[in-house]
Amino acid sequence: MKENIEQLREAFLTEIQTVKNLQELDALRVKYLGRKGQLQAYFKQLGQVDPADRPQIGRLLNELKQLFERTIAEYKSRFREEDTGEWIDLTLPGRKPPVARKHPLTQVLDEIKSIFQSLGFTIADGPEVETDYYNFEALNIPKLHPARDMQDTLYVTEDILLRTHTSPVQIRVMESQPPPVRIIAPGRVYRRDTPDASHSPFFHQVEGLCVDQGISFADLKAVISEFARRMFGEDIQVRFRPSFFPFTEPSLEYDFNCVFCRGKGCRVCKQTGWMEISGAGMVDPNVFKAVGYDPEIYTGYAFGMGVDRIAMLKFAIDDIRLFFENDMRFLRQF
Ligand code: DAH
């Protein structure tokens, strides 16, 4: 009997290896485990076995039954997986993570920074939530000055507000160090503006400040002109027009040749050949007094620059709102 059991075990293990699908496996199950199967026949013969051997034979038969069941179950699940296509192909290459890119404003800002750094400017920083003192008062814009109307903003309290320009960083830098100063301060600014193609309630500026003995208007003109050429090309001319800002005296506004027609006049520049960039001037003696610099010894120039506007010129974008909508179809183009 023991030998028969061993033979049945080997026959089963050989035969199951030839099984190719679920149907064949089921036929095999019936053959080995079915009521008319060989195993069942041996169970029936157990009564005739010598009572002394009976427990051992019974145990062997039970072990064999378990082997059959376990092996068939294993094959079954293997065929199932193949059947439904649910299997893991370990050789598949992984999914490519999307590669991030720089926002067009960041790209332009990086370029502006590196141009000024090569001209000897370092980078300064200041808070976006400012006090009335730094945003207005210290910049020679007293409480009831009409210049405040142009820069209405969002107030946290009577005294704390979202900065309307990067000019307060001038004050913070001068308070923290003696001259000479040569910094740019890039950052986000806020105004109470209704959004349209050229206005956004927040936008970006780069402030510039240079203070030392003997700094003149000529230095300001040279630095702005050099910046224009490096940013937009050798043939770009710069125009300076008289203007007014409370924190500079004299003040000016500066324009670059239109980057599309290079000054000839086109639709974008409304046939003028020029594009307004921002304001600048010689630091007002009142500002020096506010930070404790002696205006009899030191002079300096300051300028502001609209980053969004420069990026719009650089990439020929006609609506500032596109920068802030996070639409990947737009952003992927840069
Ligand atoms: N802060 C001014 C603005 O936002 C721009 C500006 C003008 C900055 C003249 C300056 C400057 O530093 O000298 O409108």
**How many other β-carbons are positioned within 10 Å of the β-carbon of residue 52?**
7
Question: How confident is the model at residue 305, as a pLDDT?
Answer: 95
d(CA 152, CA 132): 12
As a whole number, the mean pLDDT across the chain is 92
Is the pLDDT confidence value at 225 over 80?
Answer: yes
Question: How confident is the model at residue 82, as a pLDDT?
Answer: 72
Query: Which atom in ligand 1 lies closest to the alpha carbon of residue 165?
Result: 4
* Cα 305 to ligand 1 centre (Å): 8
Contact predicate 112/206, CB 8 Å: yes
pLDDT tens sequence across 257-286: 998 899 999 887 889 999 899 999 999 999
- 187 C-beta closer than 6 A to ligand 1: no
Question: How confident is the model at residue 85, as a pLDDT?
Answer: 65
Which residue's CA is the nearest one to ligand 1's atom 4?
A: 165
* Cα 141 to ligand 1 centre (Å): 12
Is the pLDDT confidence value at 33 over 80?
Answer: yes
* Cα 332 to ligand 1 centre (Å): 32
- DSSP β-bridge partners for residue 190: 202
* Cα 205 to ligand 1 centre (Å): 9
Residue type present at position 80: R
Question: What sign for the dihedral angle of Cα 177, 209, 243, 320?
Answer: negative
Which residue's CA is the nearest one to ligand 1's atom 7?
A: 279
- 279 C-beta closer than 6 A to ligand 1: yes
For a ligand 1 pocket test, name from 140, 150, 164, 167 the mutation site with the most ligand atoms within 8 angstroms of its C-beta. Answer: 167
Is the pLDDT confidence value at 133 over 90?
Answer: yes
- Interstrand relation of 122-123 and 181-190 (parallel, antiparallel or unpaired): parallel
* Cα 282 to ligand 1 centre (Å): 11
Q: How confident is the model at residue 299 (pLDDT cuts 50, 70, 90)?
A: very high
For a ligand 1 pocket test, name from 278, 282, 286 the mutation site with the most ligand atoms within 8 angstroms of its C-beta. Answer: 278
In a 10 Å sphere around its CB, with 0-12 CB exposed, 13-18 middle and 19+ buried, how is residue 221 labelled? middle
First CA to last CA distance, the chain? 83
CA of residue 40 relative to chain centroid, distance: 70
Question: How confident is the model at residue 84, as a pLDDT?
Answer: 67
* Cα 306 to ligand 1 centre (Å): 10
Question: How confident is the model at residue 83, as a pLDDT?
Answer: 67
d(CA 284, CA 209): 12
Q: How confident is the model at residue 81 (pLDDT cuts 50, 70, 90)?
A: confident
Q: How confident is the model at residue 95 (pLDDT cuts 50, 70, 90)?
A: confident
d(CA 156, CA 131): 10
Residues 6 or more apart in contact with residue 320 via CB below 8 angstroms? 197, 198, 199, 200, 203, 308, 312
Contact predicate 40/8, CB 8 Å: no
For range 190-199, the mean pLDDT: 90
Question: How confident is the model at residue 309, as a pLDDT?
Answer: 92
Q: Comparing C-alpha atoms, which of 206, 203, 135, 125 is closest to residue 168?
A: 135
Q: How confident is the model at residue 197 (pLDDT cuts 50, 70, 90)?
A: confident
Contact predicate 219/182, CB 8 Å: no
Q: How confident is the model at residue 96 (pLDDT cuts 50, 70, 90)?
A: confident
pLDDT tens sequence across 109-127: 999 999 999 999 999 999 9
**How many other β-carbons are positioned within 10 Å of the β-carbon of residue 54?**
14
Residues 6 or more apart in contact with residue 185 via CB below 8 angstroms? 123, 124, 125, 126, 166, 169, 170, 173, 206, 207, 208, 209
Question: How confident is the model at residue 89, as a pLDDT?
Answer: 79
